Amino acid sequence: MGSRNPLVAGILSAMFPGLGQFYVRRWRKGVVFSLVSLVTVGFGVAGGAFQSLKDCSDAGCLGWVTRLIVLIIFLPLAIWSILDAVRTAKRQEREP
């Protein structure tokens, strides 16, 4: 397995979780990070769409909860993806 640049791996994961894992050839991890990220972002978009329908008397009743859930899930996931991609690339550099 060829070594990968840890900086590139980190930048790719910062662009979207899972891209760095694909770059370092950790396919399953890349799929998991990407799918969880897509579902989380989709949930946030859907929540924003529901808010725009103004189904509730308070215009912000759903929007802030949805955004909070997305932040609680997506931000740690993104940070984890970056750290994992960089760590994996560094580990690959050390392998013979």
Q: Tell me the domain boundaries of the chain.
A: 6-94
- Residues 13, 87 contacting (CB under 8 angstroms): no
* 6-53 residue pLDDT tens: 999 999 999 999 999 999 999 999 999 999 999 988 877 776 655 555
The secondary structure of the chain in percent helix, strand, coil, rounded to multiples of 5, reads: 75, 0, 25
Give the span between the Cα atoms of 92 and 87, in whole angstroms.
9
Q: What is the model's pLDDT at position 69?
A: 76
What pTM did the predictor assign? 0.79
Instruction: List the single range of 23-32, 58-67, 75-84 with lowest mean pLDDT.
Output: 58-67
